[in-house]
Structure 1
Amino acid sequence: MKLGISELFTGSDARAGSWSTDAAQLIEEIGFTSVWLPEHVVFFPEYRSQYPYESGGAQEVNRMLGVIDPLVLAASIGAATTTLRIGTYVFVVPQRNPIITARQVASIDQLTGGRFEFGVGVGWAEEEYAALDVPFARRGARMNEYLAAMRALWSPEELTEFSGEFVEFPPLYCFPKPAQPRLPIIVGGNSDASLRRIVEYGDGWAGYSQTFDDIEAFIAKLSTAMEAAGRQMSELSLKVGRRSKGKTEKDWEDDRAYIDHVLSLGIDEVVVSPRIGDENYERDMRRYAEIMDL
């Protein structure tokens, strides 16, 4: 069973210093396949934008307050581990210059020996886009073009050029190239636009907080779209995120039942978020791994 974990590496007092690398080494030791790093650049006391997954608004989002930059953290975790795959879940691509992002991601893939997976999304918080001075409108079209530009920059060709509506550059050198011949782009989201993005640019899907029926329906639609595009479902790695509903062993057993069912639907990897507390982190993580039968 492939089981990933999305952890909150926040840089808080309880998680300062070497906590992040120590936790990553523990996660690797007890049998997790991968660690996934969430991203927000800035946070707000209140949001007009609707959080798309659960109720709670700012209170829910601000659980991630202080989260360490995922690309910086990915390099650090990569240096502290040997087999653990490292990914973003998810990186908001339209908010950053694609040339800089492409170079950072390729550098991380080199430093980790080809263990990086680029989980991407368009984001939902208009407030965050405004703070970064990036238009919120047409962010999906911007993201598609940025992904195409990054793929071009990661190609084996030494000279790369690109011309589009949102990004344009003349023939240039952009090194290093990724260690993996095709660095995986894992597309987040449950919408039809996300589905089309997977088919055109993706190597996988990162779903989150979905019912079993929704997962089955999305996979069926994705399979039809992939076939129409001349692609095989075997080209994709299908992942679903699971947020634990509590912190007791009963909650963790519920996680295990959810995982078993989701894997039976054709999902390749479940990314859990048990949100284990700091006080007995190692003890509780080891117990969680036992319940997951890692």
Structure 2
Amino acid sequence: MRLGISELFTGAGPRDGSWSNDAARLIEEIGFASVWLPEHVVFFPEYKSQYPYESGGAQEVHRMLGVIDPLVLASSIAASTTTLRIGTYVFVVPQRNPIITARQVASIDQLSGGRFEFGVGVGWAVEEYDALDVPFGRRGARMDEYLAAMRALWSPEELTSFSGEFVDFPPLYCFPKPVQSRLPIIVGGNSDASLRRIVEVGDGWAGYSRTTEDIEIFVERLATAMEAAGRRMSELSLKVGRRSKGKTEKDWEDDLAYIESVEKLGIDEVVVSPRIGDEHYERDMRRYAEIVGL
């Protein structure tokens, strides 16, 4: 079982944005496999959109003023570490131009020596889409096409063209190319559309705030769909996000029981979320490492 950490690096507070690199080096030193960077381009004082996960996450999002851009931060962390895998959990693909995103992602993979994983999702806040002047409707179809265009741009071919409903460009050069022969696309979400997307284009799943029962059902459905498509489950990396609770001894016992339970279900990595800025942050990270034997 691998253990990763998801963090909201805000670039604010008593320490400036350089703390993100300090934290990444510590995460690597302790023995975590990866660091995952959440994405919201902008935040709002009020939301009409319904947060799709648990209430603690909604409260956190509603308190946020901003986070460091995950792709910019990923390149900085890549320069500060040597073995830590770096990913987005998750990047809202339909909100950004796919040619620019493809170049940025490939650049990070080059600079990190092939350590980047592209966790992707469609997002949930209509307010963000409105602010960016991107239609919220059919965002799933837009994301599917954007991912297809990016895969084409990452191919070894020097000249790439693409023609679709949302993306259309003539033969062009788009460099650099990723180091990894197939840069991992990790599909976020728990919906039927997410499951379909994993089977069609994905290299893994990024679940979040799911009970073990929910995870078991999703993994079984995914295995059935993968077999029907002629793919093997061994082709996928399955990850689930685990929101950190208070840190009583009972909390640690619950965390360990959860990690052991999802490992039996075929999950490869649990991504935990202790928060930067907490005075006990390093202690909690080391405790997580201790309970899973890093």
Tell me if both proteins adopt one fold, taking TM over 0.5 as the criterion. Answer: yes
- The TM-score with structure 2 as length reference comes to 0.96
CA RMSD of aligned residues (A): 1.5
Q: Deviations over 1:13-42 (max 9, x none)?
A: 234142111100000010100000000011
Q: What are the residue-to-residue correspondences of 1:109-148 with 2, within 5 Å? A: 109-148=109-148
Identify the residue that residue 199 of structure 1 maps to in structure 2: 199
**Residue correspondences, number:** 294
Q: Measured at CA, do residues 184 and 127 of structure 1 come closer, stay the same or move farther in structure 2, by a change above 3 Å?
A: same
Unaligned runs of 5+ in 2: none
Which has the higher mean CA deviation after the structures are superposed, 251-260 or 273-282? 273-282
SS, match of residue 14 in structure 1: coil
CA contact (8 A) 2:89 2:188 kept: yes
Q: Measured at CA, do residues 280 and 212 of structure 1 come closer, stay the same or move farther in structure 2, by a change above 3 Å?
A: closer
CA contact (8 A) 1:247 1:276 kept: no
- Give the Cα–Cα distance (whole angstroms) in 1 for the partners of residues 205 and 59 of structure 2: 27
CA contact (8 A) 1:119 1:188 kept: yes
Bigger relative contact order, structure 1 or 2 (CA pairs below 8 A, ≥6 apart)? 2
Identify the residue that residue 252 of structure 1 maps to in structure 2: 252
How far apart are residue 278 of structure 1 and its match? 3.2
How far apart are residue 244 of structure 1 and its match? 1.6
SS, match of residue 283 in structure 1: helix
How far apart are residue 230 of structure 1 and its match? 1.1
- Give the Cα–Cα distance (whole angstroms) in 2 for the partners of residues 289 and 12 of structure 1: 27
Identify the residue that residue 182 of structure 2 maps to in structure 1: 182
CA contact (8 A) 1:206 1:239 kept: yes
Q: Deviations over 1:155-199 (max 9, x none)?
A: 000000000000100000000000000000000010010011011
Residue type of the partner of 2:162? F
- The TM-score with structure 1 as length reference comes to 0.96
How far apart are residue 56 of structure 1 and its match? 5.7
How far apart are residue 63 of structure 1 and its match? 4.6
Residue type of the partner of 2:145? E
CA contact (8 A) 1:45 1:58 kept: no
CA contact (8 A) 2:7 2:36 kept: yes
Unaligned runs of 5+ in 1: none
How far apart are residue 276 of structure 1 and its match? 5.8
- Give the Cα–Cα distance (whole angstroms) in 1 for the partners of residues 39 and 63 of structure 2: 12
Q: Measured at CA, do residues 15 and 64 of structure 1 come closer, stay the same or move farther in structure 2, by a change above 3 Å?
A: farther
- Give the Cα–Cα distance (whole angstroms) in 2 for the partners of residues 57 and 17 of structure 1: 23
Q: Deviations over 1:120-167 (max 9, x none)?
A: 000000000000000000000000000000000000000000000001
Which has the higher mean CA deviation after the structures are superposed, 2-11 or 55-64? 55-64
